[in-house]
Amino acid sequence: MITQTNLNRFFDELAKSVDITDARYEKVEKRYKAILDFFKNNELKRYDLDLYPQGSFAMGTAIKPINDDGYYDVDIICRLSDANANKKEMKQSELKALVGNAVKHYCTSLQISKKPVEKAKCWTIEYSEPEQFQMDIVPAISNSESLRILLEKQAYPIDYHEDAIAITNKDKIGTYDIITDNWEISNPKGYLKWFKAILKPYIVKLAEERNVNIEDLPPNQSKTNLHKIIQIMKYHRDFTVGENKHKPISLIITTIAAQNYNSDQNIYSNLVSISDKLIIAGNSGIIINPSNLTENFAESWNSTPEKKELFIKWATRLRDDMLYAKEADIMDSLKDKFNSSFGERIIKEAFEKISYYPPPKVEIQKKPLGPWGI
């Protein structure tokens, strides 16, 4: 039987192995700040701009791509807030084109060879080799009022509405090209606030342990066990599910993990209990967005049952893998099993790290005791 301490040490190192480097975080920050500067001085000069990362880079749960030559995806919200940028005066298509022009101009100025690609909700910049990352710029306008009204209508608390935004969706033909109040609501900043509120007690503890102020903790160095659990689960998903348009989305994984995280238990116990909760949530088909209680993250499962199926299949495999770890006799058998769930490269890295901060040197004294037997 592998002891809990060893399992925990292993998963801790596994999380560090799938984590991205500080340099990568810094690069992303530098990139989007450069974009912000450029936009402010060019096409979008007249708007009060806010540019911020959403999703895993904002939360500190970003992971490495599963292949050496894979890409890092960064989502950036580009929110315009000005009297001129509101639903009464602007169509979604106009906002998309406005930001699109700025993005195109930026790419030319930087001599990025690939033209930015237009997707349903964003513009994608593919940076040249060897940067290995692409940035999705999501055009948005402020939308706090709409979310507030929506929440109030259903008598929900309005905790996170201030930061809600409206985003464009080219695929929704009926609303894309007309002046309408009917825009998609998104609330990445509100979600981040919710996530950070859950993390706060652990971050405070972390800061105390290191004897620094919370503000002085760099985002990538304030990793709690919750971050690590999310990263491990996401990597497991990426590796076992692979490229699939019905792949379980990170937001669902993050939400369920954060809601069910138990700080009294170690990483491994949490992985076991949270993977159980993933299966339960998967079966129910209801995963409410905590920053917009009117939204069910799994809404699309109704029209695309493959998504639900794949989610449950993946979550079950995750749970089985975690339970296997408990049953396994020795660390080495874990290696074989997990190679097929996380990939040899990452498992080898994690094993090398737990193989154990250079092993101690032992000098055997002269004329040692020989073994004996009956």
Partner 1 sequence: MNDVNKKYPLLELVCIDGDYKISGTLRYIASYDNHETIDDSFNIQIHIPDDYPDNIPRVYETEKTNGYHHRFTNGMLCLSSPLEQYYEFCKCKNLLNFIDKLIIPYFYFFSFYIKHNQKPYDDLDHGEKGLRETYKNRFGTSSVQSLYNIIKYCIKVKKVDYNKKCPCGSGRKVIKCFDHKNILSMIIQIPNSVLLAELKAIDSSRNQCNDVLKTKKT
126: β partners: 134
Rounded to a whole number of angstroms, the minimum distance from the CB of residue 373 to partner 1 is: 4
Rounded to a whole number of angstroms, the minimum distance from the CB of residue 328 to partner 1 is: 11
Residue 340 touches partner 1, criterion: CB under 8 A: no
How many of the chain's residues bind partner 1 (CB under 8 A)? Answer: 30
Give the span between the Cα atoms of 228 and 11, in whole angstroms: 8
Residue 327 touches partner 1, criterion: CB under 8 A: no
Which residue number, 157 or 358, has a Cβ lying nearer to partner 1? 358
Residue 41 touches partner 1, criterion: CB under 8 A: no
Residue 326 touches partner 1, criterion: CB under 8 A: no
End-to-end CA distance of the chain: 28
Return the residue of 272, 331, 345, 353 that touches partner 1, per CB under 8 A: 331
Residue 365 touches partner 1, criterion: CB under 8 A: yes
Residue 348 touches partner 1, criterion: CB under 8 A: no
Q: Which stretch binds partner 1 (CB under 8 A): 66-74, 115-123, 216-224, 327-335?
A: 327-335
Which residue number, 23 or 362, has a Cβ lying nearer to partner 1? 362
Give the span between the Cα atoms of 261 and 267, in whole angstroms: 9
Residue 359 touches partner 1, criterion: CB under 8 A: yes
Give the span between the Cα atoms of 121 and 140, in whole angstroms: 9
Residue 155 touches partner 1, criterion: CB under 8 A: no
Residue 355 touches partner 1, criterion: CB under 8 A: yes
Residue 23 touches partner 1, criterion: CB under 8 A: no
Rounded to a whole number of angstroms, the minimum distance from the CB of residue 357 to partner 1 is: 7
Residue 9 touches partner 1, criterion: CB under 8 A: yes
* Identity of the amino acid at 235: Y
Return the residue of 1, 67, 290, 343 that touches partner 1, per CB under 8 A: 1
Return the residue of 120, 178, 204, 330 that touches partner 1, per CB under 8 A: 330
- Whether the CB-CB separation of 60 and 229 falls below 8 Å is answered with no
Rounded to a whole number of angstroms, the minimum distance from the CB of residue 270 to partner 1 is: 19
- Whether the CB-CB separation of 203 and 214 falls below 8 Å is answered with yes
Task: Give the containing element (helix H, strand E) for 186.
Answer: strand 184-186
Residue 368 touches partner 1, criterion: CB under 8 A: yes
Which residue number, 317 or 353, has a Cβ lying nearer to partner 1? 353
> 3-state class of 310 per DSSP?
helix
- Whether the CB-CB separation of 321 and 315 falls below 8 Å is answered with no
122-146 in b/e form (b: 16+ CB < 10 A) is: bbebbbeeeebbbbbbbbbbbbbeb
Residue 245 touches partner 1, criterion: CB under 8 A: no
CA dist list (Å): 136 to 103, 116, 230, 234: 10, 9, 22, 19
- Whether the CB-CB separation of 296 and 306 falls below 8 Å is answered with no
Give the span between the Cα atoms of 119 and 99, in whole angstroms: 13
- Residues lying near partner 1 in the complex (CB under 8 A): 1, 3-6, 9, 329-331, 354-374
